[in-house]
Amino acid sequence: MSDGATGAAVRLRDVAVRYPEADRDAVGGVDLDVPAGAFVVLLGPSGCGKSTLLRTINRLVLPYRGAIEVGGSDVTESDPETLRRGIGYVIQAVGLFPHLSVAKNIAVVPQLLRWPADAIAARVDELLELVRLDPARYRERLPRELSGGEQQRVGVARALAARPRVLLMDEPFGAVDAIVRTSLQDETLRIHRVLGTTILFVTHDVDEALRLADRIVVMKEGRIEQDGTPLRVLAKPATPYVEALLDAKDAVRRLSLLHARDALRPANGADTAGAPLGAQAYRVEAGATLRTVLSELLEHADAVDVVEDGRRIGTLSFADVRAALLASER
C-alpha cells in the first residue's frame, strides 16, 4: 500500500455517484488503481458513466460513497481548487477562454499558483513547442483564430502548464477529423513518453483505446466490466458484452497490438541461411505491427525479413504470424 513515485497515482475504492432525481447510480461502486505513469483508457458506450467517473477524480462530481486518492492523499483533504490546479483536465469542447490569447489561456493555472511572470512566459513557449505550435506565430492569437485541432493542442498545453502528475482527458479528440485525430493521438503518446504523466483517457472509440492504452477499463452501466491490457481484453474478453463492444473476434484487430519484434523467427548466424530466396527483398521494421506484416505477406511474399537499425534480425512467415496470434490468446 505504499504510494511513492511508483505507487498508485489514482486509487478509487467503491466509488458510487447518483445524480439528483436519477433513479439509478451513474457510477455504481467502482474500484480502480492507476499506477504512476500509466496510460489508462476508460472505454464504453455513451451514458455508461465514463465522464462521471473521471470527474470524481478532480471533484467536479461528488460521490455519495467510496474514497478517492490522488498521489496518496484523499481528494477531500485539500480544497477543490487546490486539488484541481494539480490535475490536468482536457475536455472535448476544449473550453478555451475566448477573450484571452493563446499565451494567456495556457498561463491560467501558473497564474493562479502565482508563478513569477518570467517563469510563466518561458513555460508558455516551452508548452507551445511541446504541442508543436510555433510560439512566435501562435502566442498572441485568439482561440477563434485557431482550427479545431490547434485549439485542442492549446487545451492540452493549458492542462499541462503547471506540471500536473495526473492528466484527465475526456474524449479530447472526439470533435476533430480522422487525420487530425491520429496526429493528436501520436502527440499524446509522445507527451506521455516524454513527461511520464499519468493519463486517464475517456473514449468510446475502440481503435483509439487500443492505440493509446497500456490498460483498458471497459465500463458498462456505471460498473467496470473488464480491466486489463489491450491485448488481454481483446484475446480474453471477460464477458460477451466486452467481446461485442471490442469486436474481439476480429483477428486483424488483435494483430495490430502485436509487433514483429516479438513474433519473429531469429536469424541463425550471420548469414541469411534458411530464408527462402527472393523473400529477402521484402523487409519490415522490428517495431511494425503484425497487421502491417500480414499485409506485406499478402501482397509480396511467403516470408519477410525483420530489420532493426539496418540489420536483419529474423524472418516472419504466415505461420509465424498465426502462431503469434494463437500465443496471444493464452
Partner 1 sequence: MILSAAALAAALFIALPVAASLARAGLARSAWLGAIGTARVIPSLAVLALMLPLIGIGFAPSFVALTLLAIPPIAINTDLGLRGVPAAVREAARGLGMSEQQIGLRVDWPLALPIVFSGVRTATVEVIASATLAGFIGGGGLGEYVINALAANQMPQLLEGAAGVAMLALLADTSLAALERCFAYTEMRPA
Ligand X SMILES: Nc1ncnc2c1ncn2[C@@H]1O[C@H](COP(=O)(O)OP(=O)(O)OP(=O)(O)O)[C@@H](O)[C@H]1O
Total of chain residues touching ligand X, rule CB under 6 A: 12
Instruction: Tell me which stretch binds partner 1 (CB under 8 A): 4-12, 38-46, 107-115, 288-296.
Output: 107-115
CB of 152 to partner 1, least distance (A): 12
Residue from 41, 70, 96, 124 binding partner 1 (CB under 8 A): 96
Alpha carbon 99 to chain centroid, angstroms: 31
Residue 50 sits in the site that holds ligand X (CB under 6 A): yes
- Please identify the residue of the shown chain whose CB is closest to the bound Mg ion: 51
> Residue 51 interacts with Mg ion (CB under 5 A)?
yes
Residue 197, interface with Mg ion (CB under 5 A)? no
Decide if residue 104 touches partner 1 (CB under 8 A).
yes
Does position 63 interact with ligand X (CB under 6 A)? The reply is: no
Q: Is 92 in the site for Mg ion (CB under 5 A)?
A: no
Piece in contact with partner 1 (CB under 8 A), picked from 23-31, 86-94, 215-223, 247-255: 86-94
What's the per-residue H, E or C state across the chain? Answer: CCCCCCCEEEEEEEEEECCCCCCCCCEEEEEEEEECCCEEEEECCCCCCHHHHHHHHCCCCCCCEEEEEECCEECCCCCHHHHHHCEEEEECCCCCCCCCCHHHHHCHHHHHCCCCHHHHHHHHHHHHHHCCCCHHHHCCCCHHHCCHHHHHHHHHHHHHCCCCCEEEEECCCCCCCHHHHHHHHHHHHHHHHHHCCEEEEEECCHHHHHHHCCEEEEEECCEEEEEECHHHHHHCCCCHHHHHHHCCCCHHHHHCCCEHHHHCEECCCCCCCCCCCCHHHCEEECCCEHHHHHHHHHHCCCEEEEEECCEEEEEEEHHHHHHHHHHHCC
The interface with ligand X within residues 240-299 (CB under 6 A) comprises none
- Angstrom distances, CA of residue 4 to CA of 9, 31, 157: 9, 20, 26
If binding is defined by CB under 6 A, does position 46 make contact with ligand X?
Answer: yes
The binding track of 169-208 with respect to partner 1, each residue x by CB under 8 A or -, is: ----------------------------------------
CB of 72 to ligand X, least distance (A): 26
Applying CB under 6 A, the span of 2-10, 41-49, 227-235, 301-309 interacting with ligand X comes to 41-49
Interface with Mg ion by CB under 5 A: which range of 32-40, 44-52, 229-237, 319-327?
44-52
Query: Which residue of 134, 140, 262, 302 would you call a contact of partner 1, by CB under 8 A?
Result: 140
The residue ranges that bind partner 1 (CB under 8 A) are 58, 60, 80-86, 89, 91, 93-101, 103-104, 108-109, 112, 140, 142, 155, 158-159, 168
The residue ranges that bind ligand X (CB under 6 A) are 19, 22, 26, 44, 46-52, 204
